[in-house]
Amino acid sequence: MRRALLFVILAALGCEREMASMMEGGPMDGGRPDVPVGMPDGMMPDVGPVDAEPPDVEPDTDPNPLRVNHMQVRGTNNSYHTNTNPFDLEFRDYYHLPLAEQAGEQGIRFFDFDLDPDRRAGIALDPRVSDALDVETICGPWFWCLFDFEFWLDDNPQHALIVFFVAESYRFNTPPGLLFQLDDLEEDAVLTLGRDRILTPADVRGEHRTLREAIQQRGWPTAEQTRGKVMFVLNDHAEARMRYIESGGLDPDDRLLFLMGDPARAEAPDTGDEVIFSFEPEFDGDPWYFETDPGELERIRELVSAGYLVHGVSDDPEMVAELRAAGAHFIATRYPDEVFGGIPATGPIACNPVTRPDACDPADFEPR
């Protein structure tokens, strides 16, 4: 029903997204873009606020259930990337399949997006890397990437929790007034996927004071509770993060985005809602070498053992094996076929070697 409604909405004429704050020099949090030439007016109508009441998460009765932090999944880095390389730069010489094919043919359950504000995109956020040399994507703007992927989600309702890391890349050619459009990011996620499909911090926190307290006292939601759901994490430690904390997104009482934590401050008393950590390296002068620092493997294991979710990246199969052994939950690469190989007979999800219960069966996360 929602899919048919989306087609009606997208085909309708006469509805325009708000444009006032999209003018040059407008408010820093921006607004909705002009509809580009060649696209029908009303392409992206306002969907209003997110429902204040999050979906109920039934308490588990299994004394030893499989939980989100008991699994380990494959991921892609810059999941939208296509091989457009006008200057023949070696570190850009890779491409990814469409999201549905990544999920179905390569077993990918973790996706990574850099979202560059762009009023030409037809919506506020265009998934592409943050410079003018590399602007094409495999699926178009952010909304269309999610809209296309929603078909795969509908056809595979038994999939394990799928995680998106999202970052706003506004370091280069961003027009004034287009920064920090996190409301747009959330709105498009709700419009394309449906609110009931998104796992939020409130779902995990429940009646506890913080997310950390919730996972320490109750644990992460179970595999069954999160089956068929998608989770979004704001991969930012700077201005976008500060703005999101201040504004709360579409609904401050039930934000859609989880915050990224600083591994060096994971135990700090003021970080109780930071329960996801990334060990994604900086380019640091060598853009071809994009690997999690092997010196961080012990810290990864510590955070995993404490119940946190951890992300690492590597294009080296040997380093991927090290990340797996350390318990990283989301392991991303630019070359999934070469690094991961085919989907094993047990299915796309693995039992986490650090946190797995004794009776862990990968097929219980997601049937093959």
Is the pLDDT higher at 251 or at 262? 262
> Which pLDDT does position 169 carry in this prediction?
67
164/328 Cα distance (integer angstroms): 16
Among 135-144, 227-236, 341-350, the range scoring the smallest mean pLDDT is 135-144
> Which pLDDT does position 314 carry in this prediction?
93
Q: How confident is the model at residue 288 (pLDDT cuts 50, 70, 90)?
A: low
CB atoms within 10 A of CB 99: 26
How much is the average pLDDT of 357-367?
92
> Which pLDDT does position 131 carry in this prediction?
47
> Which pLDDT does position 118 carry in this prediction?
58
> Which pLDDT does position 117 carry in this prediction?
65
pLDDT at 204 over 70: yes
Q: Which residues contact 130 (CB under 8 A, 6 or more apart)?
A: 114, 116, 169, 170, 171, 172
pLDDT at 26 over 60: no
Could you tell me if 118 and 125 are in contact, meaning their C-beta atoms sit under 8 angstroms apart?
yes
